[in-house]
Chain A
Amino acid sequence: DGGITQSPKYLFRKEGQNVTLSCEQNLNHDAMYWYRQDPGQGLRLIYYSQIVNDFQKGDIAEGYSVSREKKESFPLTVTSAQKNPTAFYLCASRSDSREGPQHFGDGTRLSIL
């Protein structure tokens, strides 16, 4: 079945540590996104990528980094510069059709040790 796989489901970060969240899709979608979800708030866009080897900052990119070396993969690194990383992180993808909805993975919950 086609879909988006995020791993791990739960992740714990120590002080000063960088951690990387995985996102893989087999939908052959061009665009991929990373969102952060906090309780009582809407999703906020961290980074997005429209095509391989290209990505753009979203509204809250500070303290995060991404890469897009392959069409199916869009990993997110939460760096030590992100002082409040505890949140639910969602990865999504979409075909290049303007009418298409975004498809989401099941998320990664990141907590501070």
Chain B
Amino acid sequence: KQEVTQIPAALSVPEGENLVLNCSFTDSAIYNLQWFRQDPGKGLTSLLLIQSSQREQTSGRLNASLDKSSGRSTLYIAASQPGDSATYLCAVRQTDRMDSNYQLIWGAGTKLIIKP
């Protein structure tokens, strides 16, 4: 059974620092991996989606990498800003289930606080 883990559960860094959030998964048979942002009391916003055949995706100050063989993905945030404070979640879509087209397996998230 696929398990997705995000460590640490919380992270606090000063403004301006570059930082890395981690996501690990136990089954490498994934179709894609997504990173989401969640603000307090709100829904989720998709940040980056990496297909299993890709190594990384970039959007502005965000860069997500994927290493299927080691079961790891990282989300790199450059020049962090207070507005980046949120919870970041990763989710994987499996390839080994008939209904894998419609289900995601979620990590518990990393709560990020950027101090001004």
Contacts and interface: CB of A to CB of B under 8 A. Distances in A.
Interface of A: 4, 6, 31, 33, 40-45, 48, 50, 56, 58, 88, 90, 92, 94, 98-99, 101-107, 109
B41 A109 contact: yes
A32 B98 CA distance: 17
Contact of A31 (B43, B44, B102): B102
Given A42-B109, A56-B99, A102 B104 contact: yes
Contacts of B44: 90, 92, 102, 104
B46 A40 contact: no
B47 to A, nearest CB: 9
Contacts, number: 59
A105 B43 contact: yes
B34 A101 contact: yes
What are the 7 closest A-B residue pairs judged by CB atoms, nearest first?
A42-B106, A104-B43, A101-B46, A104-B44, A43-B106, A106-B43, A42-B108
Contacts of B103: 45, 48, 58
The main secondary structure of chain A at its interface with chain B is strand
Nearest to B100: A98
A107 B99 contact: no
B63 interface: no
A15 to B, nearest CB: 26
B46 A102 contact: yes
Given A42-B89, A48-B103, A99-B32, A104 B108 contact: no
Interface string B73-116: 00000000000000001010000000101111111110000000
A104 B45 contact: yes
